[in-house]
Amino acid sequence: MAASRTGRPPVQRAARRPAPRPSVPDNPLRRLRTRARRAWDRPLTAYYLILGGSLLIIVLGLVMVYSASQITALQLSLPGSFFFRKQFLAALIGGVLMFAAARMPVRLHRALAYPILAAAVFAMALVQVPGIGMSVNGNRNWISLGGSFQIQPSEFGKLALVLWGADLIARKQDKKLLTQWKHMLVPLVPVAFLLLGLIMLGGDMGTAIILTAILFGLLWLAGAPTRLFAGVLSVAALIGVILIKTSPNRMARLACIGATEPKAGAADCWQAVHGIYALASGGIFGSGLGASVEKWGQLPEAHTDFIFAVTGEELGLAGTLSVLALFAALGYAGIRVAGRTEDPFVRYAAGGVTTWITAQAVINIGAVLGLLPIAGVPLPLFSYGGSALLPTMFAIGLLIAFARDDPAARAALAMRQPRFGRKRASGSRVERVPRRWNTMRRRASARPSGER
């Protein structure tokens, strides 16, 4: 070491350390928000939301159908579980349809569009044939299958319009024909009006509203110009006003919006008001499952159109908000599937199914809350009714198939490990390596009988 001028060894200076950065306080809310954002952006988020949300709605609906329909069944001299057993059977059949739809390739869904439309139109026309069609609650839109089983073909008309309309618009988009207004409207609007006419012959205004919502959803997704969209909407609104004005029953339902007394002028608002009574008496956590008072003959259609009111009475605000959250998650997942795909058919079909389910849920819940007129439509996947449950579960299977068909979702599903072990290559053969709990179980079973 070289000496300094004074003869003393040089003083070694310590390396200068960088100034410490100011510590950022750990914010739990920020971490939670970051984790939630990462979870929402995962490829399989829509898949799990659709599958899990729909199954939860169906299971909770079965529970509420059993609770809400017992008194009605006993009043009809039927077993208390009569309506529940029919709904459970429909859910099993619908589960098979949902699984089949989820496993079908997209091209097979497109191939089924025209046969489903033809079958729906034929069945809806059979409703008007004397001796075949039958009336329920003043609407002639049912076909008897023998015994207590009936079918409502107009519910399958919703599925037919979604599949056929999505296939039609996708083919026209491939041929660059959607820039012309006549190709945007024809033949989509005439066929939709044909279905609406067959529905209105039976007097089912509620189903016609849902079908109209599907039509406008398809036109909006296809990029219809504002003037064209407004023109079709004006024609539909004019027809709707005429149909409401010419029907005293529909005018009475319109007068019951916001009613707080069973007798609102000349209109009998018994059902609407008692639906509000049921919701108001539920409180935060409800009166308990099976403890509803309104279902004892006070609230008509407690297990069908007004099952949401019984849910509010027995499960309270917590139960109703849970149902709303499940439908919101299902709607978000459907919009996400439609927005992230590159396939035009998948975009239009997913958007049509999402419009169908969300519009029907809003109309049903709005009627129970007294914000909309009673349209007589069930709550999707929740209310009693096999005719409504079967096509809706098939439509959920469509959304599941579309969510699985996304390239990122396919890659994520392919990377998932097997549930009960992972495969390991050993030479030319593939052997399965058991998980730790399997190994421990074998070790435990291999101990001598006298060893503890």
| pLDDT per residue as tens digits for the range 420-429 | 445 544 444 5
Q: Of the segments 6-15, 153-162, 428-437, which one has the largest average pLDDT value? A: 153-162
Structure confidence at residue 9 as a pLDDT band (50, 70, 90): low
Q: Which two tokens stand for residue 437?
A: 């709990």
pLDDT at 159: 96
> Would you call 161 exposed, middle or buried from its count of C-beta atoms within 10 A (0-12, 13-18, 19+)?
buried
Angle, helices 270-280 vs 344-368, to 10°: value is: 90
How large a percentage of the chain has pLDDT more than 70?
Answer: 85
Bigger pLDDT: 276 vs 423: 276
C-alpha–C-alpha distance, residues 267 and 255, integer Å: 7
Q: Which two tokens stand for residue 67?
A: 């609770």
Bigger pLDDT: 339 vs 31: 339
Q: Which residue, among 202, 204, 234, 200, has the nearest Cα to 216 in the 3D structure?
A: 234
Per-residue pLDDT, averaged over 26-33, amounts to 78
Structure confidence at residue 111 as a pLDDT band (50, 70, 90): very high
Structure confidence at residue 265 as a pLDDT band (50, 70, 90): low
pLDDT at 17: 64
Name which of 214-218, 319-323, 372-376 the model is least confident about.
372-376
CB 433 within 8 A of CB 419: no
Dihedral of alpha carbons 242, 353, 387, 157, sign: positive
DSSP 377: -
Structure confidence at residue 232 as a pLDDT band (50, 70, 90): confident
131 has pLDDT over 60: yes
pLDDT at 37: 77
Is residue 21 helix, strand or coil? coil
C-alpha–C-alpha distance, residues 249 and 267, integer Å: 9
List helix spans (H) across 2-112.
Answer: 28-40, 45-75, 82-103, 106-111
Per-residue pLDDT, averaged over 189-214, amounts to 92
Residue 412's beta-bridge partner residues? none
94 has pLDDT over 60: yes
Per-residue pLDDT, averaged over 286-294, amounts to 93
Name which of 399-403, 404-408, 425-429 the model is least confident about.
425-429
pLDDT at 108: 95
pTM: 0.84
Structure confidence at residue 33 as a pLDDT band (50, 70, 90): confident
436 has pLDDT over 50: no
Q: Which residue, among 264, 382, 259, has the nearest Cα to 323 in the 3D structure?
A: 382
Q: Which two tokens stand for residue 231?
A: 């023109």
Q: Which two tokens stand for residue 352?
A: 């049509």
List helix spans (H) across 266-306.
Answer: 270-280
List helix spans (H) across 341-416.
Answer: 344-368, 386-405, 407-415
Q: Which residue, among 306, 312, 269, has the nearest Cα to 292 in the 3D structure?
A: 312
Cβ count near 341 (within 10 Å):
20
374 has pLDDT over 70: yes
pLDDT at 8: 59
1 has pLDDT over 60: no
36 has pLDDT over 80: no
Is residue 428 helix, strand or coil? coil
Bigger pLDDT: 112 vs 12: 112
Is residue 169 helix, strand or coil? helix
192 has pLDDT over 80: yes
For all residues of the chain together, what is the average pLDDT? Answer: 85
Per-residue pLDDT, averaged over 380-401, amounts to 96
C-alpha–C-alpha distance, residues 388 and 379, integer Å: 9
Name which of 82-91, 142-151, 219-228, 330-339 the model is least confident about.
142-151
Tell me which H or E stretch contains 422.
strand 422-426
